[in-house]
Amino acid sequence: MHRSLIANVIALVASFSCGAASTATPVQLAPRATSTALCPTYNGKKYQDANGASYAVTCYNTNNGNVIATTGDPVNLGQCMEACDQESGCTAALFHMGVNMCYLLSSVGTMTSNGNYNIGVKSSSSTTSTASAAASSCSTVQVTFNELVTTSWQQSVMLVGSISQLGNWNPNSGVSLSASGYTSSNPLWSATVGLPAGTTFQYKYVVIGVDGTVTWEADPNQSYTVPSNACSATEADSWQSVSSVSSSSATLASTVKNTISATSTTSVAATSTCTNGPNSRNCWSGGYDIDTDFDTAWPTTGRTVSYSWTITNITMAPDGYSRHVLAVNGQYPGPVLEANWGDQISVTVTNNMPNNGTTIHWHGIRQHNNNGQDGVPGVTECPLAPGQTKTYTFQATQYGSSWYHSHFSSQYGDGILGPIVSLPQSMMRVNIR
């Protein structure tokens, strides 16, 4: 008695929040055993309920379609679908997990990311012919992108792609995803974007760090065609990672991670009419050339080149006489920092010197809007004390050869220095692994 009363009160209140008319009638279901919840296993997939009706499942989304009835009897989306089977004119079952409330929809409206709801849209021809006919007239389709990716505190996830609605591969102009449905066991990020029907494009997800670091998921690019016969759709993905590489190799190929082939704002490949060869390295792409002012324009490759350096006190004989040397990874000069023009660079520096602080300055890198990574102690940062570690992150906005060095005391005279080589587009290596 009490449960029935509470369920009816919740149904009445919830019906207004979903845009239900005040005349929506409650539906009563016969008692049944609890079945397994469908989400997230069936997200983006078809499900056939106990009555044999087929539904397209979208997890963690609500919908503003017309509510014709509500019921508090179902305990999950599958049972909500069965209620929809019993209601004349029902085309979709919308289930609220927080209050175990089932909304029966006569029409499907706009999908909106919401971690409390799951929805199943009936796909049998007998019940969706009217809805499909109406959907075919939609010039803009609300596409929900669901991405499973584990993130750290205060990180965010962006959706970027080859069309203007997704930022034209620029993470700063991409679509922010919501973590409202995120749990440790189901790290879901979601966003709904209005896209022109029939549009075909490529896309990727990127994770934005607290310090602004951009990490792209690995190849290949995702491809998607917006449906022309629906007003809403769902695309479900999981984060793509590259296989681990050996840390013993000192080549650029071993330090490039999350390499992609088409995520820059312009192409990084030589054109079909100009190919670099042993005797010609003058092929540029994307409108760049030797006259490009790289203080105002540069590509964004989407690659991250990562290095790990440890600074120690050792004894060496660079000129044949043993002396005290401050070495990077046990060598003098330090390792070559090599990247392509437009790459993100990540260098983790650990100070293992017992009595010295240190910083690393990237000589010749402009550090536009990023002076916290410039490595000048007392100006942009404090020196790293013995035992401390810092990861410097910046983009190679300039190309050419330069050098890095300690900016603390006169340490670069004692060995903390090394070369920087940023290859211009005329010499770029494409699809490095």
Please give the mean pLDDT across all residues of the chain.
79
pLDDT per residue as tens digits for the range 370-412:
889 989 999 989 999 999 999 999 999 888 899 999 999 889 9
* Mean pLDDT confidence for 32-44: 74
Q: Which residue has the higher pLDDT, 255 or 391?
A: 391
pLDDT, residue 123, reads 80
pLDDT, residue 178, reads 92
pLDDT per residue as tens digits for the range 291-348:
788 888 888 888 899 999 999 999 999 888 999 999 999 999 999 999 988 889 999 9
CATH 3.50.4.10-classified regions of the chain: 2-135
Tokens read off for 303: 């690659």
Architecture of domain 2-135: 3-Layer(bba) Sandwich (3.50)
Report CA torsion sign: 14, 16, 19, 22: positive
pLDDT, residue 124, reads 55
Q: CATH assignment of 140-238, given 2.60.40.10, 3.40.50.1000, 3.40.50.300, 1.10.3720.10?
A: 2.60.40.10
Per the CB < 8 A criterion, the answer to whether 98 and 90 are in contact is: no
CATH 2.60.40.420-classified regions of the chain: 242-433
Class at the top of the CATH hierarchy for domain 242-433: mainly beta
